Amino acid sequence: MQTEAQRALYWELEQITESVSKSEPNSLKNWLNGIWQVIVNVMTTSDEPKIWTSTDWFGHIWWNVYFPRTGQTVRLNSEEEVRIWLEEHLHLL
């Protein structure tokens, strides 16, 4: 079973591969540079929660919180919900 971090890494690698296949002859350099960036990101990750927004097909903005220590990701409706969730759960993680 893959953790959320492994799925995120796999997704990043897929995006790099797709972008390289659409780019110019200099693509091997671009692909290697992209791989390097993924490796650097993985090696420098901390235990701090990662928070970002995403938009679904209907235009709804979601607030995502990822916990590297547990591999858990939650999706909430607002910044306020993120703050409340963190206050209630951070000590458990």
- Domain range summary for the chain, segments of one domain joined by +: 25-90
Which residue from 61, 43, 44 is spatially nearest to 52, judged by alpha carbons? 61
Q: What does the pLDDT read at residue 69?
A: 79
Model pTM?
Answer: 0.50
What count of other Cβ atoms lies within 10 Å of the Cβ of residue 10? 12
Q: What is the mean pLDDT of residues 77-89?
A: 93
**The tokens of 77 are what?**
């409706």
User: Strand pairing partners for 53?
Assistant: 63
Displacement of CA 53 from its chain's centroid (Å): 10
